[in-house]
Structure 1
């Protein structure tokens, strides 16, 4: 395997990591959007705020990692994609900014109208951003962009792009519901466990339906990817995704949500990897191969070295952060905690 192929595998794994980690946050925003009015949606939104607050920002590390690898390792791919599909990618970027601002600003607002405004910005951006990212991936998979292609709506509004965008939204909603179910169990909230268990099952069904539909659309609209999904390594990961989907459904039917998260992550991760392997040997079917898009060999060697260092340094820190969060070690102090601390200080002073 050449150094260019190794970097391409790293890029694919980084995309899968962002799809799972960032997708969970987008999914939480989706459920925030459809939670209902102020009173009806109070409990689900309470859980969403508590679940997302400790780690939501760190998930964007994977997106930055993807951008750095594209720009440094495959400059032709970076230029082609961002030139031909600048509009959906710009809209996704705006959505990322508005989403972060909405989430950060809605909680400290005292006026209900402003909390609703910032909450709506956060929730709607959580819906539109994954759609545009998925639509861009669909444009790549269908081969509608190539080096020198000018920007056009057809590059990201074709059948493959639309179905990939909808599938991305469904996958993020699925991940969000599964992770919120586990958080509801951790917070000992049985009402929210039932609430998100039902939504996890429903969104899994939507993912399966849209996945089959997208698979059918690629037969005529993205034939190279369709062939890759039905043969070789691509087919293996399609089967693995189906196995993980069944395992997730089985886990959701049980009282404990302990193993639902790994199974759900397996569904999305194997699906993303299946798409990447189906495009081999192309980064953009059928106009740009890995070898043609690769940068200077010396640059790729240094990129591989920096990636290894980043994995060794950042990987354990990110894992520790996730572990602390899932074990309830990052809970924010509430008013009761602060009052209790103040009372303790007064007693000590007395």
Structure 2
């Protein structure tokens, strides 16, 4: 068994679950401006109140696993992306504080609404910037970061930042469609398709720009072997878009969220295929970045215990608080 691949799969799974789970509750903050009514905003926040903080467990797990299994990547990537990651964490803290205080505030509630919107949007934006900078490649020399503090700030990373904001907005909107009813749900349905079109635009632009800016990625995408593997992706995206249009038109409750998740999974699979087999694109492979095999094997025993526990309490939380949310059923303080 290649323990390096196992650890890479664990980290990849953790990041996917973070994007899916924390993505839709960040998305709720992003779509907040479309719904200025205070009672509706209370309802929207109530839909994620029991689970939002648990969703961030996967971010912590991914960081800890990266430190233990791929220390070179941890040191290099954090050095290269120090500023956007600090900004992201500051936004997550602002979002968390506003979530807790907003439920008790009276006169300042509108200010905490703004903090919730800004924290959610900012966290999504800086996550997307970090992704774009990672895809562009991080200069490494002798196992250390060899770039400058603002190397992450490029037109491409700004584009991926906005793209992830659009992705989370669609996830959040579709989650709310599944959790609400009545007039609020009808108005949410009306913005699902426009958000889908915005996301599709970002998918197309990023898909064109990525191989143009990185010859190595272009060679991999359009090589005979990888081309056939990547070919189904645009067709799958088009199929999901067609089903999304039908789901919105027929006012389905849960299908839009499932299709939004499908967009995320397809994009994530394309990302993994794009960077494989590198831990840092075009610089360091997974095996070059991995910790010694003894360390990987030892820590894998702990992961084999903790992963099922985290999955179990995550699924239990969603099961206990399943169903629609209604006025007067607020789960936050």
Relative to the length of structure 1, the TM-score reads 0.86
C-alpha separation in 2, matches of 1:85 and 1:247: 37
Structure 1 residue 13 displacement after superposition: 1.6
User: Mapping of 1:134-213 within 5 angstroms?
Assistant: 134-146=128-140, 147-150=143-146, 152=148, 154-184=150-180, 189-213=181-205
Task: Indicate the residue corresponding to 2:208 in structure 1.
Answer: 216
Structure 1 residue 153 displacement after superposition: 5.3
Q: Choose which of 285, 288, 295 in structure 1 pairs with 2:291.
A: 295
Task: Indicate the residue corresponding to 1:348 in structure 2.
Answer: none
Deviations 1:135-163 (A, max 9, x none): 11111111134343345355322232112
> Are residues 148 and 26 of structure 1, via their aligned partners in 2, closer, same or farther at CA, if it must alter by over 3 Å?
same
Corresponding position: 1:326 with 2:319: no
CA contact (8 A) 1:242 1:267 kept: no
> Are residues 24 and 145 of structure 1, via their aligned partners in 2, closer, same or farther at CA, if it must alter by over 3 Å?
farther
CA contact (8 A) 1:99 1:126 kept: yes
Look up the SS of the partner of 2:279 in the other structure: strand
> Are residues 311 and 328 of structure 1, via their aligned partners in 2, closer, same or farther at CA, if it must alter by over 3 Å?
farther
Task: Indicate the residue corresponding to 1:123 in structure 2.
Answer: 117
Q: Which structure: larger Rg? A: 1
Structure 1 residue 261 displacement after superposition: 2.1
> Are residues 251 and 291 of structure 1, via their aligned partners in 2, closer, same or farther at CA, if it must alter by over 3 Å?
same
C-alpha separation in 2, matches of 1:332 and 1:3: 50
CA contact (8 A) 2:179 2:323 kept: no
> Are residues 310 and 136 of structure 1, via their aligned partners in 2, closer, same or farther at CA, if it must alter by over 3 Å?
same
Deviations 1:81-132 (A, max 9, x none): 1111100010001111111001110120121xx1112221111011111111
CA contact (8 A) 2:163 2:202 kept: yes
C-alpha separation in 2, matches of 1:314 and 1:208: 33
State which drifts further: 143-152 or 230-239: 230-239
C-alpha separation in 2, matches of 1:299 and 1:33: 48
RMSD of the alignment, in Å? Answer: 2.2
Task: Indicate the residue corresponding to 2:55 in structure 1.
Answer: 59
Q: Choose which of 243, 248, 257 in structure 2 pairs with 1:247.
A: 243
Task: Indicate the residue corresponding to 1:347 in structure 2.
Answer: none
Task: Indicate the residue corresponding to 1:264 in structure 2.
Answer: 260
Question: Quick one: higher RCO (CA 8 Å, sep 6+), 1 or 2?
Answer: 2
CA contact (8 A) 1:130 1:165 kept: yes
Look up the SS of the partner of 2:47 in the other structure: helix
Task: Indicate the residue corresponding to 1:90 in structure 2.
Answer: 86
C-alpha separation in 2, matches of 1:259 and 1:332: 26
C-alpha separation in 2, matches of 1:333 and 1:211: 38
Q: What are structure 1's unaligned runs of at least 5 residues?
A: 335-350
C-alpha separation in 2, matches of 1:82 and 1:225: 23
State which drifts further: 254-263 or 223-232: 223-232
Structure 1 residue 273 displacement after superposition: 2.3
CA contact (8 A) 1:91 1:129 kept: yes
Look up the SS of the partner of 1:52 in the other structure: coil
C-alpha separation in 2, matches of 1:26 and 1:72: 28
Look up the SS of the partner of 1:283 in the other structure: strand
How many residue pairs end up in the alignment? 324
C-alpha separation in 1, matches of 2:316 and 2:255: 19
State which drifts further: 237-246 or 286-295: 237-246
C-alpha separation in 2, matches of 1:181 and 1:20: 16
Structure 1 residue 331 displacement after superposition: 9.5
Q: What are structure 2's unaligned runs of at least 5 residues?
A: none
Corresponding position: 1:44 with 2:40: yes
Structure 1 residue 165 displacement after superposition: 0.7
C-alpha separation in 2, matches of 1:169 and 1:9: 25
